[in-house]
Structure formats: structure tokens, C-alpha cells
Amino acid sequence: MISIQNYIKKNNSISPCFVCGDSLKVLKKLPANSIDCVVTSPPYYMKRQYLGGGIGLEPTYQEYIKDLLAIVQEVYRVLKPTGSFWLNLGDSYKNKQLLNIPYRVAISMQDEQKWILRNTVVWDKMKGAMSQSKDSLGNVYEPFFHFVKKKSAYYYDADAVRRKPREARVENGAVVSATGVSGVKYRRKIELSTELTEEQKKNAFEALDSVLDKIKKGELSDFRMVIKGTNQRVTNGDTTNLSGRAKELQDKGFYFLFYNPKGSMISDVWQIIPEDTQGRKSHFAPYPEDLVKIPIILTCPMDGIVLDPFAGTGTTNYVAAMMQRRSIGIDMSREYLGIAQERCSLFGILNNGEVEMINE
Ligand SMILES: C[S@@+](CC[C@H](N)C(=O)[O-])C[C@H]1O[C@@H](n2cnc3c(N)ncnc32)[C@H](O)[C@@H]1O
């Protein structure tokens, strides 16, 4: 059996390494700046009694947040400067008060721990547990925060998750963009514009031809053209002080909006059905595999290491192995990690490696 430090240093197998122990203590043993991507869902406040104890059942939510933030601080230390931290956290009620716990934690991370919040993804579960409440709405979403350590140059493979664009095509001999823009309407608009000078009209025709040429060559999949004096709304508002585009419109008489030929970026609302926990003996609350896939392919390089400090039944590690990444999973419960090991052993065998279990 190898130590967790050696796993980080030289193990090339995608077999995950599981460590049984308290995350705060285990994380303190890991070298600084050694992990590429952390994806986790800690115990929510006052929701469940987990087999190994741990955080979540503190007498007050303030104490729970303090305990969680101590672990999160260690996550900051072990994460590489190029790394990402994805935190899924649900909320709780006490005395009919919705405690706002995920946002309190996120704000403390920004204000007290130097984290930079890049997105708050809304995990739309599409179906919630049946709500018994007669005076509040049923809850079907949870926030999923994406934090980084540096403002820029963190690892981010946007192309890996883009929505595939529709292709440009040829119709009646003319090139038509992905959404059917052929340029005919824009040509008419330029001609009819009462506010463009002759010089501006000439420039607009030339610019439009050059964009259509790029569509033809497949360098662009789609575009929109906004032309002065044609009653089109200016994206980002009309104030020249505020919007570069409004200024461009004033100076040149037109501007373009281009769509990335590799597809558009996915949005911050993810519709993913939760795991079915009906009929399970233990309440280990696994999250769905699909929730973990995007964070891993988006923010963990192929040779990187994924970490889940509240690994439970190892969903993060299982998905990391499917995505060919190495991973570490820490949990207080040996029983949950046993399930995690079992789930991942298939990948361990395929890779001629052993799923490690270290006790701390
Ligand atoms: C919501 S569950 C995680 C479920 C996991 N995402 C999965 O898919 O199975 C939270 C886990 O945190 C563990 N836990 C609670 N406090 C801990 C601590 N201080 N250190 C390590 N693990 C802890 C619990 O045993 C539980 O398995």
C-alpha cells in the first residue's frame, strides 16, 4: 500500500486512493498546491446522521459553518494556483427560518479566505421530495459554487463542454449561417438606413461580405449585424458612456455579434435528476454522476488529481476514473468508503491497479 503523499507524487494509475479519517486532519498532511480540482458535497446542516459522525450536527448553524470553513481553508492550501473548487451545498430550515447556509459559506469564503467565485450554478433537480409544507414552496434546486484561487489562468477547458453549434449551410447557391442568416436582409437594411453616410454604407457592405466569407470557410458559424438607423436594439444598452457597442454604432454606423464556431458555452442552470435513494439502508446521500462530470472535464487536466474531502460512496472518484483522472477520496466512514471502493474496483482492475484504502 502506498501513502497518500506518494499517490500524489508518482502514481500513474487512475485507480482512486481512499483515505478513512477526518478531512481536516487528513488534508493537513497533504502538500500545499498539489491538487488540481476539488468537487464535493459536505453534509448539509441538521439533515442526516452519517455513520462516521463528522460535521453537520453542530448545535448552531454558526458552529457548523465554522467547522466547514476550517476544512475549506485547508482545501485552499492544497489546491494548485491553477485549481478549481466546486462546492455543492443545500440549505436548511430552523424554526421556519430558511438559514441561507450555502450563501453564508460562499460569502465567508470570498471575504475571509481569498477565494474567487466564478459561478453559482443552479442545480435544477427537476423533481423534489414531496413537500408537506402548506405555507412555503417545494424546493427543487441547490447551488453549486465554482471557486478558484487566481483571477485568470486557472485551468479551464471551455471547448470540452460547449454546446455543439449548428453548421452553416448553402441554400439556393448562397451561404446561410447556422440560424438562417444569409446577409440579404442586412444588405437591405444598410441600403435603407437613413442615418448612415455613403462612406459608412460602403464600409458596412465590405464588412458584411468579409463576415459571410468567414461563414463560407467555416471560421464562423453565426453572426448578427446591428446597423444604425434601423430600429435595432443595441445590446448592453444605448448609453455611449456605458457600452462599447453603442459607441461603435455611433462612430462606424454598425457592429457585429459573433457566435463561437466551436459552439456556445453551457449555461449556469443544470437540469440533472438526483440519485434515487429509495430503498437504501444507509442515508449516505450520493450526488448524481452527471453533476460531477462537467466540473471534472472542465477544470481538471488529464494528468491532474481530483479530490473529494467528503467522498461518501465515492461518486466523485468513480466519475474521475471514468474520465481517466486520478483522484483522492476522504471520508470518516469506513463503510461508505467500502461501497466507494467496490464501485471503483472495476476501473482499478481495468487499469491493473488497486483501489487503495488508507486509514488515518
Ligand atoms: C453528503 S455525503 C457525501 C456523499 C457523496 N457525494 C456521494 O456521492 O456518496 C457527506 C459525507 O461527508 C462525510 N463526513 C462528514 N464529516 C466529515 C469529516 N469531518 N471528515 C470526513 N468526512 C466527513 C460523511 O461520512 C458523508 O459520507
Residue spans per domain, the chain: 4-160+265-359, 169-259
Say what the pLDDT of residue 216 is. Answer: 81
Q: What is the mean pLDDT of residues 113-125?
A: 97
Q: What is the 8-class DSSP label of residue 160? A: G
> Is 230 a residue whose pLDDT tops 80?
no
For residue 286 and ligand 1, the question of a CB distance below 6 A is answered with: yes
Say what the pLDDT of residue 282 is. Answer: 59
Q: 62-99 burial string, b = 16+ CB within 10 Å, else e?
A: eebbebbeebbbbbbebbbebbbbbbbbbbbeeeeeeb
Percent of residues, the chain, with pLDDT higher than 90: 56
Q: What is the mean pLDDT of residues 207-218?
A: 87
Q: What is the mean pLDDT of residues 301-308?
A: 96
Q: What is the 8-class DSSP label of residue 264? A: B
Sign of CA dihedral 93, 95, 97, 100: negative
Q: What does pTM read for this prediction?
A: 0.84
Our CA angle for 242, 247, 252, nearest 5°, is 170
Q: Quick check: 332 and 54 in contact, CB under 8 A?
A: yes
> Is 305 a residue whose pLDDT tops 90?
yes
Pocket test for ligand 1, best of 86, 307, 331, 333 (most atoms within 8 A of CB): 331
Ligand 1 nearest atom to the CA of residue 22, by list position: 20
> Is 353 a residue whose pLDDT tops 90?
no
353 vs 39, more confident: 39
For residue 18 and ligand 1, the question of a CB distance below 6 A is answered with: no
Among 3-7, 176-180, 352-356, the range scoring the smallest mean pLDDT is 352-356
Alpha carbon of 271 to ligand 1 centroid (Å)? 23
> Is 352 a residue whose pLDDT tops 70?
no
Say what the pLDDT of residue 351 is. Answer: 54
Nearest residue to 252 via CA among 298, 190, 187, 305: 190
Say how far apart CA 98 and CA 106 lie, in whole Å. Answer: 16
What CATH number was assigned to the domain covering residues 4-160+265-359?
A: 3.40.50.150
DSSP annotation string for 85-145: EEEE----EETTEE--HHHHHHHHHHHHS--EEEEEEEEE-SS-SPP--SSSPPP-EEEEE
Percent of residues, the chain, with pLDDT higher than 70: 86
> Is 349 a residue whose pLDDT tops 80?
no
For residue 79 and ligand 1, the question of a CB distance below 6 A is answered with: no
For residue 86 and ligand 1, the question of a CB distance below 6 A is answered with: no
Say what the pLDDT of residue 53 is. Answer: 74
Say how far apart CA 17 and CA 15 lie, in whole Å. Answer: 7
Alpha carbon of 47 to ligand 1 centroid (Å)? 12
Among 166-180, 181-195, 306-320, 322-336, the range scoring the smallest mean pLDDT is 166-180
> Is 283 a residue whose pLDDT tops 60?
no
For residue 340 and ligand 1, the question of a CB distance below 6 A is answered with: no
**48-65 pLDDT tens trace:** 777 767 888 899 999 999
236 vs 30, more confident: 30
Say how far apart CA 261 and CA 264 lie, in whole Å. Answer: 8
Say what the pLDDT of residue 90 is. Answer: 94
Angle between helices 198-216 and 184-192 (to 10 degrees): 170
What do you get for the CA distance between the two ends of the chain, in Å? 13
193 vs 293, more confident: 293
pLDDT band for 348, please (50, 70, 90 cuts).
Answer: low
Query: 68-77, 200-209, 275-284 — which one is most confidently predicted on average?
Result: 68-77
pLDDT band for 123, please (50, 70, 90 cuts).
Answer: very high
Q: What is the mean pLDDT of residues 324-351?
A: 85
Whose Cα sits closest to atom 12 in ligand 1?
Answer: 310
Say what the pLDDT of residue 356 is. Answer: 65
For residue 90 and ligand 1, the question of a CB distance below 6 A is answered with: no
> Is 167 a residue whose pLDDT tops 90?
no
348 vs 308, more confident: 308
Among 45-49, 86-90, 333-337, 349-353, the range scoring the smallest mean pLDDT is 349-353
Say how far apart CA 164 and CA 324 lie, in whole Å. Answer: 23
> Is 155 a residue whose pLDDT tops 90?
yes
Say what the pLDDT of residue 250 is. Answer: 85
Q: What is the mean pLDDT of residues 130-143?
A: 88
